[in-house]
Structure 1
């Protein structure tokens, strides 16, 4: 979320999420708990076709000078946070490379997610000020960086086209700047809430510079874009039929990057909201959406890209970042205890390890 929440309060998002139900059923063919435990970071598969949404928007008095994001919902960090889970790293600062960001990169590397899609709120934003730090840390871990262009004030199709040029000109020479060899060595620019802008003709001018993805499954809204994605973990939990989108993208030379996550809960960050909650069901939810995504294409094969919601969107409880098994008692926090049969400290990294398992399955099954 931003300092003024965007995902949770968005009418577009709520309309899109309406009716989505929490997942919980057992899926035949999903490996038993513990199958990912043999995966080590040293032997981990790393795929640049697996993208994960990353949020460099947190701040603390020690680094940033004040709390940022953690205090949403009128809470008082560092013990009372605007999340139903408590980070293993505590109320960290996104500008603290040694204390947080480098560890994030190591975890994403261990998970096998080769591209982090960093939340970007326009030139002059807090997130933009940390872009080079994120790129430097990613490069050190052997990861690549793509961009999540958020609905900053005054955003238009023309400004997004300018953003693509700016990001390429400013960071294009950086070793962590993502370039997909299969798609003309272009980076990915995911555009959140793209349907808020009716005419995207202006981005035709930057098609050769980047793959700009629209957030929708409505193929009639894909004109001028280079790809489509969903972001929405709630809708993904209902296991939607994505074969038509996959077929459309393949026929029209677009990149399809369906999004999914381990769960969703945002009631602490937005008290009184009515957004549906998706329970994690000790990892069953995550297994179900991964398995569904791997077989959701028109040919029953995985799509060219997949996008995980999210690494660290703590406000919405969609994170795979490790959560503390012993959070502060000031609030009733959830933990990952029981995920994939793990308990206590061993459960803290359960979703990192499970992601690595599914990345291996994806790499083995996706089209060459």
Structure 2
């Protein structure tokens, strides 16, 4: 385990858990507490269809991810997502999990947890109940105990698995529907007991319980903490009209859960549009109704500032959950896109079947940067291309960049990516070293600068390596979506 990760574990272990049971009083975070930021993560893009996403079908140009239309198992994509997570202050991926042997399980175990840079983040399972229990009206909980035993044997012991108070965390989707069934709570109790007896783990289970107008404290008592996955419907944005009252509604529901004694893990989202993968839900723009794309991001930051951060709780690691890092089917992602001009047109026959007239943009790193800024008290304004950290872009940045060439963020001799690396060197992609990937960022920020400028400042025996690097990057982000027959089968529950 990297020294970085030991520090993170010690911070977790130091959290004061003063709750006396779920329905007893729980402590609130102080205004000075920095939250732990997690994001729902989807490792399913080896089999899912990018054409079933709004952004792949925008017109006149798509809004593809900067990492490309690439499979989740690609180690370069995982590394880029780790870099972007550092940029956005995300330290936890709540990874979608659909059962033993699923593509999500395979990628998590064989690609993510084994990645050379896995130790820079924490990981937990987001248990996709709709894929394990069946229908809400006639659920079958027979998979719950074997699933938990499988996770205990194969995943919980990973040194980078996320723990609260030393307990492996499992986020469980839409419990607010399944745990109305009388068999649900006994099934979860049996799964907990089986794992504890066989492996000694006491799972910390987070229920998806904050949703309706009244908080069900009895149902929530079966969980160690509660959250909401579907911020879109919970807040009232699902009517397609987004107003400040939606933010207030979300904050009120978190407060109700808190008043009932629950340890709340608030959720936030930048917007919602799943019309490329399923019918029935209203699209939201990423701005308030009546505003324009120039105001995009305000809904996200208001959810963070007014609904999320006031309700993070030390009993649940001051955790704030973002829906999502890369759920492109529902357009909740904050993963970086290419920059593209605003448009309300898509490639449907009508030209607006998917957008419903809402305007979207290729937003770049906007939402990662907003998340960092609003969850890191006193964070400096870091500018891509500002290699000398003086707040502007000028020729001095080129000299400063050259002076930092190949410098690494080392902890006990191990290169570690992250925010600390970005604060102390022009490591613009947060990967722990200043190299050609960062020069690519410099070139975008300083368009008048040529590769020859860097070669003049450095001794590079093979200058064509720059061209090869840029060609590889261009080819990567230029990939078109691949088709697949598998559809996303999880959506907003209204």
1:245 aligns with 2:251: no
Seen in structure 2, the aligned counterparts of structure 1 residues 330 and 288 have a Cα distance that, compared at 3 Å, is closer
Deviation at 1:296, TM superposition (A): 4.2
In the alignment, is the contact (CA less than 8 A) between 2:208 and 2:229 conserved in 1?
yes
The residue aligned with 2:66 is 88
Deviation at 1:148, TM superposition (A): 0.6
The 5 A counterparts of 1:114-263 are 114-132=91-109, 133-137=111-115, 139-140=117-118, 142-150=120-128, 151-154=130-133, 156-180=140-164, 183=165, 185-194=166-175, 195-197=177-179, 198=181, 199-205=184-190, 206=192, 209-217=202-210, 218-219=215-216, 220-234=218-232, 235-236=234-235, 238-239=246-247, 240=249, 241=252, 242-250=254-262, 255-263=263-271
In the alignment, is the contact (CA less than 8 A) between 1:297 and 1:303 conserved in 2?
no
In the alignment, is the contact (CA less than 8 A) between 2:67 and 2:80 conserved in 1?
no
Q: Secondary structure at the match of 1:212?
A: strand
CA deviation string 1:85-113 (max 9, x = no partner)? 43222311111112x11101111122111
Counterparts of 2:185 and 2:141, CA distance in 1: 5
Seen in structure 2, the aligned counterparts of structure 1 residues 269 and 247 have a Cα distance that, compared at 3 Å, is same
CA deviation string 1:30-79 (max 9, x = no partner)? xxxxxxxxxxxxxxxx97832110000112xxxxxxx5232438x9xx96
Deviation at 1:264, TM superposition (A): 1.0
Deviation at 1:213, TM superposition (A): 1.6
Decide which structure has the larger Cα Rg and report it.
2
CA deviation string 1:175-209 (max 9, x = no partner)? 221122xx2x1122111122235222222241752
Match of 1:273 among 280, 302, 319: 280
Seen in structure 2, the aligned counterparts of structure 1 residues 110 and 129 have a Cα distance that, compared at 3 Å, is same
CA deviation string 1:239-258 (max 9, x = no partner)? 220212012244xxxx3212
TM-score by length of 2: 0.52
Q: Which moved more, 1:313-322 or 1:154-163?
A: 154-163
Counterparts of 1:325 and 1:214, CA distance in 2: 37
The residue aligned with 1:62 is none
The alignment yields a C-alpha RMSD, in angstroms, of 3.5
Seen in structure 2, the aligned counterparts of structure 1 residues 141 and 278 have a Cα distance that, compared at 3 Å, is farther
Seen in structure 2, the aligned counterparts of structure 1 residues 79 and 117 have a Cα distance that, compared at 3 Å, is closer
Paired residues, number: 288
Seen in structure 2, the aligned counterparts of structure 1 residues 296 and 330 have a Cα distance that, compared at 3 Å, is closer
In structure 1, runs of 5+ residues without a counterpart are: 1-45, 60-66, 338-346, 364-368
Q: Secondary structure at the match of 1:145?
A: strand
Counterparts of 1:142 and 1:295, CA distance in 2: 24
1:70 aligns with 2:68: no
Q: Secondary structure at the match of 2:264?
A: strand
The residue aligned with 2:423 is none
Q: Which moved more, 1:272-281 or 1:105-114?
A: 272-281
Deviation at 1:290, TM superposition (A): 0.4
In the alignment, is the contact (CA less than 8 A) between 1:47 and 1:113 conserved in 2?
no
In the alignment, is the contact (CA less than 8 A) between 2:301 and 2:371 conserved in 1?
no
In structure 2, runs of 5+ residues without a counterpart are: 1-32, 135-139, 194-200, 238-245, 288-294, 380-494
The residue aligned with 1:350 is 366
CA deviation string 1:302-325 (max 9, x = no partner)? 983211100001111111101121
Counterparts of 2:378 and 2:144, CA distance in 1: 31
Counterparts of 1:106 and 1:192, CA distance in 2: 27
Seen in structure 2, the aligned counterparts of structure 1 residues 213 and 86 have a Cα distance that, compared at 3 Å, is same
Seen in structure 2, the aligned counterparts of structure 1 residues 248 and 102 have a Cα distance that, compared at 3 Å, is same
Q: Secondary structure at the match of 1:137?
A: coil
Deviation at 1:288, TM superposition (A): 0.6
CA deviation string 1:126-169 (max 9, x = no partner)? 11111121223385351000111112144644523432332122
In the alignment, is the contact (CA less than 8 A) between 1:136 and 1:176 conserved in 2?
no
Deviation at 1:293, TM superposition (A): 2.5
In the alignment, is the contact (CA less than 8 A) between 2:35 and 2:375 conserved in 1?
no
Counterparts of 1:259 and 1:248, CA distance in 2: 18
